[in-house]
Amino acid sequence: MIPASFEYHRPRSVQEALALLATHGDGARVVAGGHSLVPMMKLRMARPDHLVDLQELAELRQIRSETGYLVIGAMTTQHELIGSELLAAKCPILRETSLLIADPQVRYCGTLGGNVANGDPGNDMPAVMMVLAASYRIAGAGGERQVAARDFYRGTFATALQEGEILTEIRIPVLAAGHGYAYEKQKRKVGDYATAAAAVVLSRTGGKCTAASVALTNVADTPLFAADAGAALVGTALDAKAIAQAVRLAQKIARPSPDGRGPADFRTHVAGVMVRRAIERAAGRAA
Amino acid sequence: MTVDTETAQARTQKLEGLGTKRKRVEDARFTQGKGNYVDDIKLPGMLFGDFVRSPYGHARIKSINKDAALKVPGVKAVLTAADLKPLKLHYMPTLAGDVQAVLADEKVLFQGQEVAFVVAEDRYSAADAVDLVEVEYQELPALVDPTKAMAPGAPELRDDLKGKTSGAHGPRKHHNHIFTWETGDAAATDKALKSAQVVAKEYIVYQRVHPCPLETCGCVASMDKINGHLTVWGTFQAPHAVRTVASLISGIPEHKIRIISPDIGGGFGNKVGVYPGYICSIVASIVTGVPVKWIEDRMENLQATAFARDYHMTGEIAATKDGRITGLRCHVLADHGAFDACADPTKYPAGFFNICTGSYDIPAAHVTVDGVYTNKAPGGVAYRCSFRVTEASYFIERMVDVLARKLNMDPAELRRKNFIRKEQFPYTSALGWEYDSGDYHTALDKALKAVDYPGLRSEQKRNREAFARGETRKLMGIGVSFFTEIVGAGPIKNCDILGLGMFDSCEIRVHPTGSAIARLGTISQGQGHATTFAQILATEIGIPASNITVEEGDTDTAPYGLGTYGSRSTPVAGAATAMAGRKIRAKAQMIAAYLLEVHDDDLEWDIDRFRVKGAPERFKTMAEIAFSAYNKVPPGMEPGLEAVSYYDPPNMTYPFGAYVCVVDVDVDTGITEVRRFYALDDCGTRINPMIIEGQVHGGLTEALAIAMGQEMAYDELGNLKNASLLDFFLPTAVETPAWETDYTTTPSPHHPIGAKGVGESPNVGGVSAFSNAVNDAFAHAGLTHTQMPHDHWRVWKTAERLKLTAAA
Amino acid sequence: MSKMHLKLKVNNRDVETLTEPRTLLIHVLREQLGLTGPHIGCDTSHCGACTVDMNGRSVKSCTVLAAQADGATLLTIEGMASPDGTLHALQESFRTHHGLQCGFCTPGMITRAYRLLQENPNPTEAEIRFGISGNLCRCTGYQNIVKAIRAAADTLASVKEAAE
């Protein structure tokens, strides 16, 4: 498996990268960690004429706290997410999820930006970003814009990202202290995409759930924000009945395709099991 | 005379002979990245070959246009069937008496089939050119199910066999039929079944899998046009047989062909066959006059070279009410893919499947096997087992469990009741094999005691009650398997490949200073032959293993042998090594007697020397004798100390073992966790316990993969849906449990050192243990059999069918 | 397509080579630099046979383009022993504990284990299994590999203690 030829560019700034994309149009592709794109190139399912490598853009490789937000540069790797003390304290679901992505070698290379921007429904971070109400900062020739994770995904490998644009930052609103969280993923083995997975973030006061978000991975051509499932939990004591209702509502929107992980009915079932387990674990963690 | 102060124990230890946990001599190079695998070979001017392959399962080739490919800089040639036809090389003979297209001739019959061979200066330009070869196809309906392939109106797959009503193994009853193979007593079996108090029937599929060694197949062919010598380095599990085949196909005299197997990165049966890549590389080297390398990528490996299994077995087992088995019948529909390229001894188109009476004393049995063509890759290799033995063992070990359910008996108890008893060995089975030795009751009892089997069954009872009360969603399963293998092919009277008797060989030269080199006809692919064969020899000739070099794999230097597969190295080449060692020792005894001025009969062997009976202080060490062999031999004796043995074993060997597997099945997710796996192996005399343990660990892990997730999944169009290691299940260290190993020792009575072979046992016994455990988890809910692989969704579907699932 | 002038530091040695940007790092190492220790097993970044250490991270060199590696510092199995030839504790330990059979996965496995122990000098069995889950082995069933890595951790700890 050998990739087709291309011209290689390693810009030193986002501006330079954008200029390269503008010059080379649809023949150009951005590469971050490369672990989605390079295998596609080796299979010749992707054949960019120009490869714009973002590895030198230190500005995109940072994790910081801003007023009201956690900001993570797109080039931050999963390995760095796992090691970040700031995230461990403020947004631990990112560590939990990162540890379920691929394998150690891939996590050293794989970036958060690549994971959320590439539009692969098998990627795990998009559902997490949906429950976190994250937004993506996008730079383009015409300036910058922000798109909410919940509005970003359009179809398999189709997102709100347009030709010539680069996703530069992930912005996560600060989570309530004492929130509960969980990412539950069923897979056949380390390195596999999810048969189905669920992300849950919720808060609880005085025994009652005050806020809850649920999202699903790899059970449709995009990640799915299960708004109804989350809403069904709010105001309840997160009792069995409420959880069962949330599970049903989440399963209702799942549209998995049959594949080696199982037929559609099984994957929908597993989505439900993952949602239930994620809610239960998140509830156990909520202060 | 040498003053000797060493104790016998110290001298024995120094030898590192039989039974010691000798560290491997191979490891120094592998741990430093200095292995020499085929893709490491780089020769001056070497070109690189790459295939254009069929994207379709079944299609007619309308045209092939090479023009654009030939324009790619660095491209030297693009070969198609049209180029090979004048050389009569567009088809090659298979090991099973069929032919296989080297490059597709008018039709493609499986996805990934070789259509054109691009030869270029490097692999990058070759890949670019492969992309540019334009092949126009007309798609044809594909057959991926052997039952459908045998339907009256099924499309005819093999144009080249049109009208042929018989093949290498007798009559063909349908245009997609290959052979019928039958053995046993049909009438007696029929009678046993008809008169039985209880008959259990089951349809058991052993799905198509792939050996998938970490290194794919490949070769470097180098034709020296000046002196007419062809050298081929490659991933060959049987280098000598490859030389013979290469000579027969190419017409190059055999003495001008040299085949070298360098280090091999795992074989497991994948590297037994002869593949189009080898032939095309040789042709390309002959045409271009420079060396040509071909290395498969992983997708090609999974799509095109050497699948295993794909046996669809219908079984009936008869018994008395109290559990005495009285008869066994089995019919197999064997999916061989597009060409019959199974690697089996000539007389055994279904391998040794007739070992399927297993470890049990079954008075009547009858087996028929129908081989069928489909639009899948050819192969049918013995993947980490002797020929079709894992299929046979899986069949009988499932059937016994199915019968146990029907009789409402404990499966371990039913096994005990029907075992061939110790005093019955040598035992001739109803299907004609003579089992050499065994003590099955002792082995099973030891295993059951080690795991506290009664305790496990009570725990399971409590688990089922708790499940019924809704306190747990996990079901505990206990799988017992007791396998008997038939390995070490084999006696020439039974076994040949392409007419070559399946003996094996060892040639030993003892050097004047008392070190030695041994060369064998086998080839290690990770088994550690360089370590273990030196141990056999150390004990036989009293030279420390560390002073013995073992060499294999170069047909110019090694004696002829049939190679390494089917656990035959220790039973056959290991025997040859011992026998050659004994020839050395016999000559050494005569030299020692001469030096000590006594009669030969006055000497006795003592670890590393001959000593005078009754006068142990008078001796000659092997090192002393070796030196004398080169300057002071008895009058009339030839100098030197060398021997060669070509060993034709009198019988196969029959390793056996008792395995117990405990699983916990989560009915909500279908995930099966292996809680415990205990493996007791009896491989006869144990050469190196460390290596045996390693072999068992590895074989169990491959069995885990097969039972729990592996399958080559084809869609209706003949597309292989999981041709990458993302989807083809190979477990990582996380999915692999810790293994417990144990042993009993029942030596083979006919093998010179009593060894039986072990590398494949854990795969053979492991698959049924896992599968029995998963089936057992659902036994109380009425399940008798569910097909492998027991991956998440299939297990969940089983639970659903048994009404054990709940809403998420 | 134009070639690029690739600069690398490999096993403590500065090297330069002319290559196409698309050349895979594994091919640069194996075919241009003669470092045939790392192997290609799966082509799709699942098996880890091609693992090398790049800028202090374990990477699968079959999924890294030469161009991406330009300027990198690399360590391969060939650079694991000390300059005086003393083998690394992992190399010794894999032999002592029978942590290899065919040897094909071994260079990647040891190189990966090296980085694992750099980051976690005292791993549990579960941490070792998780830490090498990007490396497939078809021969050993991992059990003796895990044992070998754990034993190497002990050796390295005692060497460190002795030095302190």
Active site residue B760: yes
**Distance (Å) from the alpha carbon of A73 to chain B's nearest alpha carbon:** 29
**Residue B789 contacts residue B711 (beta carbons within 8 Å):** yes
Question: Is pLDDT of C83 > 60?
Answer: yes
Chains that touch C (3 or more CB pairs under 8 A): A, B
Average pLDDT over residues B240-247: 92
pLDDT band for position C2 (50/70/90)? confident
Question: Is pLDDT of C97 > 90?
Answer: yes
B64-88 pLDDT tens trace:
999 999 999 999 999 999 999 999 9
B251-288 pLDDT tens trace:
999 999 999 999 999 999 999 989 999 999 999 999 99
**Distance (Å) from the alpha carbon of B674 to chain C's nearest alpha carbon:** 14
What average pLDDT is seen over chain A? 97
Q: Which CATH class, in words, describes the domain spanning A60-173? A: alpha beta
Catalytic pick among B384, B405, B568, B611: B384
**Distance (Å) from the alpha carbon of A271 to chain B's nearest alpha carbon:** 8
B204-228 pLDDT tens trace:
999 999 999 999 999 999 999 999 9
Question: Is pLDDT of B192 > 50?
Answer: yes
**Chain A contact set for B299 (CB, 8 A):** 1
Q: What is the pLDDT of residue C1?
A: 60
Pairwise CA distance, residues B132 & B250, whole Å: 30
Residue in B668, B732, B796 nearest the CB of A189:
B732
* Residue of B776, B766, B772 whose CA lies nearest to B659: B766
Per the confidence metrics, is the pTM higher than 0.90? yes
* Contact pairs from chain A to chain C, CB under 8 Å: 87
Residue C139, chain A, CB below 8 Å: the answer is no
**Chain A contact set for C45 (CB, 8 A):** 35, 38-39, 105-106
Residue in C2, C70, C134 nearest the CB of A104:
C134
**Residue B688 contacts residue B757 (beta carbons within 8 Å):** no
Residue in C4, C58, C65 nearest the CB of A108:
C58
**Distance (Å) from the alpha carbon of A105 to chain C's nearest alpha carbon:** 5
B338-357 pLDDT tens trace:
999 998 898 999 999 999 99
In chain B the domains, ranked by start, together with CATH numbers, are 8-35+504-647 (3.30.365.10), 38-140+217-264+272-290 (3.90.1170.50), 387-487+652-801 (3.30.365.10)
Question: E strands within B426-513?
Answer: 427-428, 434-435, 474-484, 496-497, 500-501, 504-510
Query: 54-83 in A: which are within 8 Å (CB) of C?
Result: 55, 79
B622-635 pLDDT tens trace:
999 999 999 999 99
Query: 737-776 in B: which are within 8 Å (CB) of C?
Result: 738-739
Q: What is the pLDDT of residue B758?
A: 93
Q: Which CATH class, in words, describes the domain spanning A183-285? A: alpha beta
Residue in A1, A260, A275 nearest the CB of B721:
A260
To the nearest whole percent, how much of chain B has pLDDT over 90? 96
Question: Is pLDDT of B729 > 80?
Answer: yes
Residue A280, chain B, CB below 8 Å: the answer is no
pLDDT band for position B499 (50/70/90)? confident
Catalytic pick among B316, B552, B693, B760: B760
Contact C44 B725 (CB under 8 A): yes
Residue B560, chain C, CB below 8 Å: the answer is no
**Chain B contact set for A191 (CB, 8 A):** 726, 732
ipTM of model: 0.98
**Distance (Å) from the alpha carbon of B334 to chain A's nearest alpha carbon:** 24
- DSSP output for B115-163: EEEEEESSHHHHHHHHHH-EEEEEE------HHHHTSTTPPP--GGGTT
Pairwise CA distance, residues A270 & A264, whole Å: 10
pLDDT band for position C42 (50/70/90)? very high
Query: 9-28 in C: which are within 8 Å (CB) of B?
Result: 20, 22-23, 27
Question: E strands within B35-90?
Answer: 47-53, 59-65, 75-80
Contact A106 C134 (CB under 8 A): yes
**CATH 3.30.465.10-classified regions of chain A:** 60-173
Q: What is the pLDDT of residue A287?
A: 84
3-state class of B302 per DSSP?
helix
**Chain B contact set for C94 (CB, 8 A):** 27, 31
**Chain C contact set for B739 (CB, 8 A):** 141, 143
What are the two backbone dihedrals, phi and then psi, of residue B371, each rounded to the nearest 5 degrees?
A: -85, 140
Enclosing H/E stretch for A165: none
Residue in A1, A195, A247 nearest the CB of B297:
A1
What average pLDDT is seen over chain B? 96
3-state class of A23 per DSSP?
helix
Contact A276 B808 (CB under 8 A): yes
Q: Which CATH class, in words, describes the domain spanning A7-53? A: alpha beta
A58-106 pLDDT tens trace:
999 999 999 999 999 999 999 999 999 999 999 999 999 999 999 999 9
Residue A37, chain C, CB below 8 Å: the answer is no
Active site residue B384: yes
Pairwise CA distance, residues B85 & B774, whole Å: 52
Active site residue B413: no
Contact B807 A1 (CB under 8 A): no
Residues 6+ positions from C65 with CB-CB distance below 8 Å: A3, A8, A34, A38, A51, C21, C22, C23, C24, C25
Residue C126's alpha-carbon distances to A69, B734, B735, in angstroms, are 35, 8, 11
**CATH 3.30.43.10-classified regions of chain A:** 7-53
Residue in C43, C77, C138 nearest the CB of B702:
C138
C99-108 pLDDT tens trace:
999 999 999 9
Contact C95 B34 (CB under 8 A): no
Q: What is the pLDDT of residue B12?
A: 96
Rg of chain C (C-alpha set): 16
Chains that touch A (3 or more CB pairs under 8 A): B, C
Pairwise CA distance, residues B361 & B441, whole Å: 13
Question: Which chain A residue lies closest to C40 (C-alpha atoms)?
Answer: A1
Residue A156 corresponds to which tokens in the numbers above? 């398999």
Contact B713 A260 (CB under 8 A): yes
* Contact pairs from chain A to chain B, CB under 8 Å: 72
Q: What is the pLDDT of residue B4?
A: 59
Average pLDDT over residues B752-758: 95
Residue in B34, B40, B739 nearest the CB of C141:
B739
Residue C134, chain B, CB below 8 Å: the answer is yes
Residue C124, chain B, CB below 8 Å: the answer is no
Residue B398's alpha-carbon distances to B415, B440, B682, C23, in angstroms, are 12, 18, 21, 50
Active site residue B673: no
Question: Which chain C residue lies closest to A102 (C-alpha atoms)?
Answer: C134
Pairwise CA distance, residues B308 & B271, whole Å: 12
**Chain C contact set for A39 (CB, 8 A):** 44-45, 63
In chain C the domains, ranked by start, together with CATH numbers, are 4-79 (3.10.20.30), 89-158 (1.10.150.120)
Question: Is pLDDT of B1 > 50?
Answer: no
In this structure, the strands spanning B99-101 and B434-435 are: unpaired
* Residue of C7, C24, B69 whose CA lies nearest to A5: C24
